[in-house]
Amino acid sequence: MERKEGSFTIGYYLSKKKLEAMQWASIVQFAKDTYNITCIPMNLESTDLPDKSPYDIVIHKFTDELSDPDNVDNIHKINMMECLLKKYPTLIEVDPLACQKPLVDRLTMSNLLDKLNELPANLNIKNPKFLVLEQEKPNYDEELKDIMFPVVCKTVQACGSRESHQMAIFFNKEELSRSKTVKLPMLVQEYINHNAIIYKVFVIGDYLNVVHRKSLRNLNTTETETLTFDSQKPLPANLLPEIPYDESMVDIPSRDSLVAISKGIQKDLGLTLFGFDVITDITTKKIAVIDVNYFPGYVGIPDFNKILIDHMLYIHKSKSNGGIN
């Protein structure tokens, strides 16, 4: 593709589903109308690469492909992305493949989040205890001896398959040992009652915004029946609170705490486009990070098109001038 001298081109690779959900066409139009920036889809099919890169900067999301590396098509796309970066060493990548990879493994991610417990006490952060069950056993008494029930269980693989969104809540070791609901290896995480409110934090570089959503109800330790749900579907009735939350119940965590979490994730993972989910423990009032997602949908974020393109512009300018690593 021939480019005009001095033009600025963004190459992008996102799934069709994500392009539609984000109304990507409007972002492309905004970039062109506002900054005369051209956005073009990346060609990861052809191995015949031109001498000069068709892109100045690329933005992509490979979490699904990275989570299923045995898929031939996924291998090809990842290899092509790596070939592009090798052939065009000045090509700027937002965010690198290597930085996205930890988010496809819930154990790796949980270990990284556990480090946030070391942040200053005044930030009031305490993430839940967790462990991984690797193989089927008659019981898990030894492994679970330091874990408080109820617990929420999910596959170690964080995305890329139907099973990765299937979750279960267990109230005792016996039910967990008997269940086949969640595929091994399984991440077991202590459940935190949080008044059915989850705070979704969206980050784009230094920009941070918070929205709140309904979440799982408070659980009682006297309950015994295993509860199952799909994290990508509406919650089943037995996991909804009797009294729906309203604005009076919303208590957004302090911005200082959220910024500290964001900076910690950026430092440890090297990401600039991500979201994380936070809940507040109704007993201790401490906040916990229960999930991190790369390049989420940013639903409900005002002026998202401008914020995203401004971020791309900043990274392109800074890295072209050697300003950031």
Residue among 78, 63, 68 at smallest CA distance from 15: 63
Residue 2 in domain? no
Phi, psi (rounded to 5 degrees) for 293 = -130, 140
* pLDDT at residue 189 greater than cutoff 70: yes
Q: What is the pLDDT, as a whole number, of residue 3?
A: 42
Q: Total structural domains in the chain? A: 2
Q: What is the pLDDT, as a whole number, of residue 323?
A: 53
What digits encode the pLDDT tens for the residues 203-255? 999 999 999 999 999 999 899 999 999 988 999 999 999 887 778 889 999 99
125 and 271, same domain (yes or no):
yes
172 and 233, same domain (yes or no):
yes
198 and 290, same domain (yes or no):
yes
Residue 33 in domain? yes
Q: What would the two tokens of residue 70 be? A: 């045995």
89 and 187, same domain (yes or no):
no
25 and 173, same domain (yes or no):
no
Phi, psi (rounded to 5 degrees) for 317 = -65, -45
Please work out, in degrees rounded to the nearest 5, the angle formed at the alpha carbon of residue 179 by the alpha carbons of 108 and 129: 35
Q: Residue with structure tokens 């790369």?
A: 294
243 and 201, same domain (yes or no):
yes
135 and 164, same domain (yes or no):
yes
38 and 135, same domain (yes or no):
no
Residue among 103, 153, 105 at smallest CA distance from 128: 153
310 and 239, same domain (yes or no):
no
173 and 29, same domain (yes or no):
no
Q: Percentage of the chain with pLDDT > 70? A: 96
Domain with 237 in it:
102-294
134 and 281, same domain (yes or no):
yes
SS3 call for 289 = strand
Domain of residue 133, CATH code:
3.30.470.20
